[in-house]
Structure 1
Amino acid sequence: MGYNAAPLERLVEQFSKFPGIGRKGATRMAYQVLSMPAAEAAELAKAIEEAHTKLHRCKICQDYTENDLCKVCSSPKRDHSVICVVESPRDVTAFERTREYNGLYHVLHGLISPMDGIGADQLCVKELLARLHDGEVKEVIMATNPTVEGEATAMYLAKLIKPLGIKTTRLAYGLPVGSSLEYADETTLYKALSGRGEL
């Protein structure tokens, strides 16, 4: 317990759980919340609570949605023959910003990482495979981050998908190795998408 009053200290502790937020940043955020008018602070608390209670995973792609199906999966305008496989819902947002991709998505909610004890069974792999048996899907794009874990996950999935006779491609390396899709600009993402190659 620091010098702060207990409720403030608890708030700092909660903020410091966010990735990339140290104690200094967490303390700044806590004081920012304290300086808000009561109604604004209540709105923030309500937004956090509603995000947790109203959002759940889409029955098809596993992205977050308020309904049974997300907007992408339920849209008749999307190309249902292509699925872009990503690590997290944040990556879907990144691709949608490009306005260049018109297919569907599949969110794995993580990557295979033996060092962290994460295997394929802890990811949404079976949900992906279940989507590939009706003959509608012609291509699966592996859009996992260009990291060791991202590569391992893409190769593992490609081995499972190829025997089904479905084209399996990987994003081209317009993306710097070790970077995160979330922070890539639209042009880089578009180039990586358009220059993808078969695995």
Structure 2
Amino acid sequence: MDTPLDRLTEQFRRLPGIGIKTARKLAYYMVQQPQEQVDAFISAVRSAKETMCFCSVCFNLASQDPCPICSDETRDRSTICVVETPQDVMAIERSGDYRGLYHVLHGALSPLDGVGVDDLRIKELLQRLSDTDVKEIIIATDPDVEGEATALYLARLLKTAGIKVTRIARGLPMGGDIEYADEATLAGAVANRQEM
């Protein structure tokens, strides 16, 4: 039977990390809320979808282009922290210790999943480096197999350009995501990064 509640449950189930039980719980919750709260939820989703864009400089998700980080003249423009996702930018920003710029790859190298060099924003990173006076690239990819492969690839590529390449220090668990690390762990990892 395909009811409106089943269709709503299926839409929630499509979200990352949401299983069928949680999707069903969310669907029931939403249909039991007052109409004003449901309308506010729908409006927030629609507004975010319509107004958010990718920064043309760093490819972070933002509501303006260039993003507030790239537009901030007080940030250290000699350092770029390379991350996998916009969520990683937010996680590092929460630590409060990094004041440089970012570059979001939108993924990591994963040949088994069909993600290669051309699927990431690596060409755009190289273009940025040719147009700026960057002295250091901090590689802050996830400490998993794909993140490590991406870090090694970038380190080899960037060392030929004569730029100092560092990797955030260990301290994040292998197989973990930067997005879910606490601020203290991230602050220590960025402060204790090591040259690759």
TM-score normalized with structure 2 length: 0.97
Q: Which stretch of the first structure deviates more once superposed, 13-22 or 147-156?
A: 13-22
Q: Unpaired runs of 5+ in structure 2?
A: none
Give the residue type in structure 2 aligned to 1:104.
L
The match for 1:176 is: 173
Distance apart, 1:164 and its partner CA = 1.0
- Please give the per-residue CA displacement for 1:21-47, whole angstroms capped at 9, x wherever unaligned: 111100000011111111111111111
In the TM superposition, what are the counterparts of 1:55-134 in structure 2 within 5 Å?
Answer: 55-134=52-131
Aligned positions, number: 196
Q: Deviations over 1:90-118 (max 9, x none)?
A: 00110110110000011111111011011
Q: Does 1:141 align with 2:138?
A: yes
Identity rate, percent: 52
RMSD: 1.1
Runs of 4+ off more than 4 Å: none
Verify: 1:23 aligned to 2:37, yes or no. no
Partner Cα separation in structure 2 for residue 34 and residue 81 of structure 1: 51
Instruction: Rate the CA distance shift 1:172–1:14 in 2: closer, same or farther, 3 A.
Output: same
Tell me by how many angstroms 1:15 deviates. Answer: 0.5
Structure 1: runs of 5+ lacking an equivalent: none
Residue aligning to 2:153: 156
Aligned amino acid, residue 50 of structure 1: S
**2: CA distance between counterparts of 1:28 and 1:13?**
11
